[in-house]
Amino acid sequence: MLSIKNLHANVEDKNILKGLNLEVKPGEVHAIMGPNGSGKSTFGYVLSGREGYEVTEGEVKFDGQNILEMEADERAREGLFLAFQYPVEIPGVSNMEFLKASIDTTREYQGKEPYDAVTFMKLAREKCQQVNLDQNFLKRGVNEGFSGGEKKRNEIMQMIMLEPKLCILDETDSGLDIDALQVVADGVNACRDDNRAFIVVTHYQRLLDYIVPDYVHVLSDGKIVKSGGKELALELEEKGYSWIDKL
């Protein structure tokens, strides 16, 4: 589903990703762990096509297509979803309005029938409940005045609604207490199926107790330096990131 070969990327002329390789198949959950500054967030931004993140070398194929030439919104409509570490506020634009615009355009692109207003509302309310958000939240501005936990749950709620093929979760556990973490993880786990893949980017092993990965990769200085099964995360937790340097 996703094939990354020798990916190099710059941010403000600084080389951050330095030859990253990764293969993700449908149904798999990959965890990418790494210390601060290893390029974790850059990885998510490069894949999703953020402006200012310049690919200098390598290729990224998503379902066989080269996505590097696509705009961010095209990639999103192709089914690539990024759950942000710090979701931004958009004052005055209601969650409902935002979700509707997002889902309408995505479904249209994918050749699916648009939801009628009633179905959409019903679905939105239902999904709100699933991630434990009050329904009033749909009327509020996007992330406007939300707590850290609410913002993260909002991300997951959008993910569920959009039904993407590939979900990249960027430090989704940061700033969450245990209860909120459980809600978020439940949301993610409910979405897991044979056709959908996840890349879970995280600093701490904690999240992986809740979202159990098939593979764990360690990112250091812009490259994947070690890959393994879910045990690798525990080993890393125990020995610390300094252990990586000694490898």
Partner 1 sequence: MSEVIDQYVKTEYEAGFVTDIESETLPPGLNEDVIRFISAKKNEPEWLLEWRLKAFENFKQMQEPEWAHLNYPKIDLNEVSYYSAPKSIEDRPKSLDEVDPELIETYNKLGIPLHEQEVLAGVAVDVVFDSVSVATTFKEKLAEAGVIFCPISEAVHKYPELIKKYIGSVVPQKDNYFAALNSAVFSDGSFVYIPKGVRCPMELSTYFRINEAKTGQFERTLIVADEGSHVSYLEGCTAPMRDENQLHAAVVELVALDDAEIKYSTVQNWYPGDENGNGGIYNFVTKRGICHKNAKISWTQVETGSAITWKYPSVVLRGENSVGEFYSVALTRNYQQADTGTKMIHLGKNSKSTIISKGISAGKSQNAYRGLVRMSPRADGARNYTQCDSLLIGDRCGAHTFPYIESKHPNAIVEHEATTSKVSDDQLFLCQQRGIDAEKAVSMIVNGFCKEVFKELPMEFAVEAGKLLEVSLEGSVG
Does residue 113 touch partner 1 according to CB under 8 A? Answer: no
Does residue 72 touch partner 1 according to CB under 8 A? Answer: yes
Interface residue with partner 1, options 17, 60, 76, 236 (CB under 8 A): 76
Does residue 50 touch partner 1 according to CB under 8 A? Answer: yes
The amino acid that residue 135 corresponds to is Q
Does residue 187 touch partner 1 according to CB under 8 A? Answer: no
Interface residue with partner 1, options 64, 91, 111, 145 (CB under 8 A): 91
Does residue 97 touch partner 1 according to CB under 8 A? Answer: yes
Encode 189-227: b = buried (16+ Cβ within 10 Å), e = exposed: eeeeeeebbbbbbbbebebbebbebebbbbbbbbbbebe
DSSP track, 45-61: HHHHT-TTEEEEEEEEE
| Count of chain residues binding partner 1 (CB under 8 A) | 32
Does residue 225 touch partner 1 according to CB under 8 A? Answer: no
Integer Rg of the chain from CA: 18
Does residue 148 touch partner 1 according to CB under 8 A? Answer: no
In terms of Cα–Cα distance, which of 168, 123, 149 is closest to 4?
168
List interacting residues with partner 1 (CB under 8 A): 48-52, 71-73, 76-77, 81-82, 84, 87-94, 97-98, 101-102, 105-106, 109, 141-142, 158, 162
